[in-house]
Structure 1
């Protein structure tokens, strides 16, 4: 039933010459909000693929960059309002997010910050149990292409990020910073606490390099495994399984 689902009010504001910011005001569960932002972002991409450059969803907002020589600001605001209202009426029940299961090898050789948790009295086995227990939701994509912020880890696993980030964090590193958890989709600097490694590619840069700009925008879901609203579970795997899946040590 639509009445049982979150129905946020929203406002659309011009914030630059060719950018509109859609901001949602909600009073519901965070997970429902994230999934709805993702659902509406997909609707915007579908309906306006010929006039938009980027759609950037966040926790409670969507930034839309458009081509002003193809559509006027006033016309775009009117049409965008109609699409958002239509997407809300359809609701989330007709656009369920598939549960993505990510294998993780939790071990000291891949989880270089596990000792920080052990010093807090959390054993490796307990860490694995706690981290694999929840079903997470992608709250935002940022920092690096394909880097999904997942909410929220059990309170026992909350851990502040390092004061000084590492120069390089290995691709696939599974990490925690405060209450968030994430997987580094590529080698990059980072200050999160590393607890394991996922051998499954989350952002396939090779695909992006072989597509032109229009194709890459329309096929973003085939390039990035995670998007706003995606449901994620972590599954512990053995060292042998990790290596057989393409993991590197």
Structure 2
């Protein structure tokens, strides 16, 4: 574990360069340990692929104090510590206007049906959130679905779009530009200011996509608008 000052109000912990489920688990356990210790002045802890950043209130604590705290944590002891994670089910309507790039995989010998079968009903690990609030970078994608980003990114991608960028899959919480290959779209708000929590998942959680047809999409959209729909979330324990 390497600790360094990121800014005047934050410190960063690096756990090497290996992007893996094991590293993610160490980071999640380290974050939970710091949250359990509840140090005064810590305002936010953010996980990335191989590091985490601890933000703090400079009037309540200091970088030196947090570096000392981090130096006293036994990472090896944390590694075997179990933790609970959320398995979040996201319904997706694949293809058509919702997934205009589904046909691009035919050049790789995969039919749209093949892509849907391979992409859905798989648990994807949330490595980190980034780019925009609620955008998950997900690991666990079948290598047959690896697809380079578009040469000419779109200027506007609808909120809820699900896509593949390189070796990862993810979702767009807001309408935005982007270059990922779009497979489908979910009617579920991925970020909602009025919801608690505003984001349904965090680093260490898992997401599974469930294929639905357009009729089901429209029905879910109506239920979401009326406040009747509840996302299916199951608590699991990591091994």
TM-score computed with the length of structure 2 as normaliser:
0.83
| In structure 1, distance between residues paired with 2:122 and 2:136 | 16
Quote the Cα distance in structure 1 between the aligned partners of 2:178 and 2:157: 6
Shift >4 Å, 4+ stretches: none
Structure with the higher fraction of residues in helix conformation: 1
Distance 1:55 1:185 in 2: 21
Structure 2: stretches of 5+ with no match in the other structure: 225-239
* Residue 125 of structure 1, aligned match among 93, 96, 113: 113
Q: Are 1:98 and 1:230, in contact at CA under 8 Å, matched by a contact in 2?
A: yes
Q: Quote the Cα distance in structure 2 between the aligned partners of 1:111 and 1:92.
A: 40
**Cα RMSD (Å):** 2.4
Secondary structure of the equivalent of 1:119?
Answer: helix
Distance 1:49 1:202, change over 3 A: farther
Give the strand-richer structure, 1 or 2.
Answer: 2
Does the 8 Å CA contact 1:37/1:62 hold for their aligned counterparts? yes
Corresponding pairs, count: 223
Structure 1 segments unaligned to the other structure (5+ residues):
1-9, 208-218
Of 11, 18, 42, which residue of structure 1 is paired with 2:9?
A: 18
How do 1:152-167 and structure 2 match up within 5 A?
A: 152-167=140-155
Q: Partner of 1:5 in structure 2? A: none
Q: 1:237 aligns with which of 192, 212, 215?
A: 212
1:227 to 188, 202, 214: 202
Which residue of structure 2 aligns with residue 176 of structure 1?
Answer: 164
How much does 1:151 deviate? 0.9
* Deviation, structure 1 residue 129: 0.9
Distance in 1 separating the partners of 2:80 and 2:35: 17
Task: Verify: 1:105 aligned to 2:75, yes or no.
Answer: no
What's the counterpart of residue 233 of structure 2?
Answer: none
Q: Taking structure 1 as reference, are residues 88 and 168 closer, same or farther at Cα in structure 2, changes over 3 Å only?
A: farther
> Contact 1:174–1:196 at 8 Å: present in 2 too?
yes
